[in-house]
Chains A and B, each alone.
Chain A
Amino acid sequence: MPSRSVKAAGLILLIAVACALPFVLSGFRLFQFSQVFIYAMALLGLNILTGYNGQISLGHGAFYALGAYTTAILVDRAGVNYALTIPAAFLLCLVVGFLFGIPALRLEGLYLALATFSLALAIPQILKYFEHWTGGSQGIVLSKPKAPWGLPLTRDQWLYYLSLAVLIVLFVLGRNLLQGRVGRALVAIRDNPIAAEAMGINSALYKSLAFGVSAAYTGVAGALSGVVVAFVAPDTFNVFLSITFLVGVVVGGLASISGAIFGALFIQFVPNWAQDISKAAPWAIYGIFLIVFMYVMPRGISGSLRLAWSRLVRPKR
């Protein structure tokens, strides 16, 4: 592990670079990076559940959709300021996730994966059913917000900073949560539930809580995606989205906070590269990428980086 000061310096440098990007990149690139930040939030959420707590979810696209529609409906039907809808999405998804987590307690491993998969399958149809609120398959069109307080920023620049700020807040909160008592309890439950219970950890409570927090993170990501894309429709939130999230978590690195960023970069850019390489079979190329990544970096990108770093600093054992 790199020393604390090196790590802090690296982090500050990274944030400084991220803050400078909007003055270098085009609007289109900023949109892509805003999406990376949004995916990173969702991946961190899923990682809390899957990486730290060992519960596999194939249905996080549903919470993403819930967040996006919370924002869209509040802005479009009730005229609420978009910024206020983000905490609303957080709270709603926290509650829904927690409640979903309670029956899910009875399901382990693959059975839980199937139960959550049903969420992902159902959500597009549910959204179409409540057409009165959701606009059915036509979706809801929103306006891209302007920068507030007269800031001299374009919309893309403003949304980039907004996503970055929310991402940093969620990461700091997540880090405090995961590196403290709660995080250790979650990991203990993952590694050996019986031993964890024997140590006095309320397994049921922590598991439901992990589900709630995980859903809340993903919901915030969905809410921001609604703002950034300025359009929500059921076709966005198909099963493939949920699977993409799981791919991102595993490729980025399970049980790793920084892994969320790497995973987000992967799911945002690799499909595009695959398409640039071959128009005829982009998903075959994507599949090859995925296999290579898993073979070369079995612990995900962040795990491999950590390994490389420790070899670099301490070459002799």
Chain B
Amino acid sequence: MTGRRTVLALVLTLGLAVLAAPVLAADPGVTATEIKIGNTNPYSGPASAYGTIGKGIGAYFKKVNDEGGINGRKINYITYDDSYSPPKTVEMVRKLVESDQVAILFQTLGTPPNSAIHKYMNEEKVPHLFVATGATKWNDPKNFPWTMGWQPNYQTEGKIYAQYILKNIPNAKVGILFQNDDYGKDYLKGFEDGLGDAAKKLIVLKQSYEVTDPTIDSQIVNLKNSGANVFFNITIPKFAVQAIKKSHDIGWKPTHFLNNVSSSLGTVLKPAGLEASRGLITALYAKEITDPQWKNDKGMQDWLAWMKKYYPEGALDDQANAYAYTVAQTMVHVLKQCGNDLSRANIMRQAANIKNLELPLLLPGIKINTSPTDYAPIEQEQLAKFDGERWALFGELYDASKK
């Protein structure tokens, strides 16, 4: 009896094993109790200020693991320093894929580092998800089906401002200040495309600066003297502070569009002076963590509680820590949606099948949507005007996928 039963059980088990084999043995990085996620971040070097994103993601995954993981699997998050140097990124990513055998790569940071591994990831067919850069080229499912961006790209944002100007400021004379690199030029391109044929007529002066310049005072004076009554300010926080201050000091009062990159109250508007910042217009997709209007918001309070418990060394006025939290939630959402099939192909399929996902730190009404032909998860933004105290949202949500 027992003998026959044992044999039967054995046969059954073997049969099941054979059936289950294609699923279980499918792809590296996944076991019954674990899923391995790889990442590179600049923890040292010129861009090390962004390294807090890599740490924040680890802290969020820790919370997920403490709460039981995803479908019983714990996340094993492996992150390496690439110092923002592309060859180092290639080396570390190859280590993650070939030696550590991660299931997917998540949130590798920076346009040059990601460009260096773009081809490799698609040749190896390893999901290269939600990369941390605002460049436009990550939304290219036809040629690079394994790579996907996350945040709204800079060109989209530039277009939003252009459309607002065309509709609302009939006699606009536009002056532009931009950082002379891929980030500044992406914004500029979106803006000029958005203005279309009117661009030549409306833009009266373009000024650029290098990220290593000490000051941009002379550019602001030139822009004022050009007679511009609209100012599109494409600068990173350090220069945004200078631009807001200087134009206020010399009495230039254009309609001032400030790019989202520098929309932080804590690190830009307060140092520049709240009075000088009054009237600024920007486009937002996430809740500004230093903005008092979200003080009693449930999502913001949850974020604060998480910061205190899991990432106490992180800065509470650094928007990057809210970014890390939100992008990690997107990743967890996709993995949950995968159910028990954590093959690379299915993870990619589910990443391209996010439907109306709303997250606590995104602006109310913003929904993440992807499809096999749409690899741009966040495509909605809303304009906001600074009223001297907070960003007052106005107008409707702008949706780039519908224009």
Contact surface of A with B, Cβ cutoff 8 Å: 26-29, 31-32, 35, 125, 128, 136-139, 141, 143, 225, 229-236, 238, 240-241, 275, 279, 282-283
Asked, given contacts A26-B98, A125-B210, A136-B181, whether A236 binds B46 with beta carbons under 8 Å apart, the answer is: no
Other-chain contact of B46, A27, A232, A238 (Cβ < 8 Å): A238
B86, B87, B210: residue with the most chain A Cβ atoms closer than 10 Å: B87
Shortest distance between the CB of B56 and any CB in chain A (Å): 14
CA A149 – CA B86 in complex, angstroms? Answer: 30
Contact A35 B87 (CB under 8 A): yes
Query: Which residues of chain B from 155 to 208 have any CB-CB distance to chain A below 8 Å in the complex?
Result: 180-182, 185
Query: What residues of A have a CB within 8 angstroms of the CB of B44 in the complex?
Result: 282-283
Contact B182 A233 (CB under 8 A): no
**Would you call the interface of chain A mostly helix, strand, loop, or mixed?**
helix
Contact A282 B94 (CB under 8 A): no
Asked, given contacts A235-B85, A236-B85, A282-B81, whether A141 binds B94 with beta carbons under 8 Å apart, the answer is: no
Offer 29 A-B interface pairs, CB within 8 angstroms, sorted by A: A27-B94, A27-B98, A28-B94, A28-B97, A29-B99, A31-B91, A31-B94, A32-B91, A125-B210, A128-B180, A136-B181, A137-B112, A137-B181, A137-B182, A139-B86, A139-B116, A229-B86, A229-B87, A229-B116, A231-B115, A232-B86, A233-B86, A235-B46, A235-B84, A235-B86, A235-B112, A236-B86, A240-B83, A275-B81
5 closest A-B pairs by beta carbon, nearest first, are A28-B98, A231-B116, A233-B112, A28-B94, A229-B87
Cβ of B111 within 8 Å of any chain A Cβ, yes or no, is yes
Question: How many of chain B's residues have a CB under 8 angstroms from any CB in A?
Answer: 33
Cβ of B45 within 8 Å of any chain A Cβ, yes or no, is yes
Cβ of B349 within 8 Å of any chain A Cβ, yes or no, is no
Query: What residues of B have a CB within 8 angstroms of the CB of A275 in the complex?
Result: 80-81
Query: What residues of A have a CB within 8 angstroms of the CB of B70 in the complex?
Result: none
Contact A230 B210 (CB under 8 A): no
20 new A-B pairs (CB below 8 Å) besides A128-B181, A136-B181, A229-B87? Answer: A27-B98, A28-B98, A31-B90, A31-B94, A35-B91, A125-B210, A138-B115, A141-B115, A141-B116, A225-B87, A232-B86, A233-B116, A235-B46, A240-B45, A240-B83, A275-B80, A279-B43, A282-B44, A282-B81, A283-B44
Query: What residues of B have a CB within 8 angstroms of the CB of A234 in the complex?
Result: 112
Query: What residues of B have a CB within 8 angstroms of the CB of A32 in the complex?
Result: 91
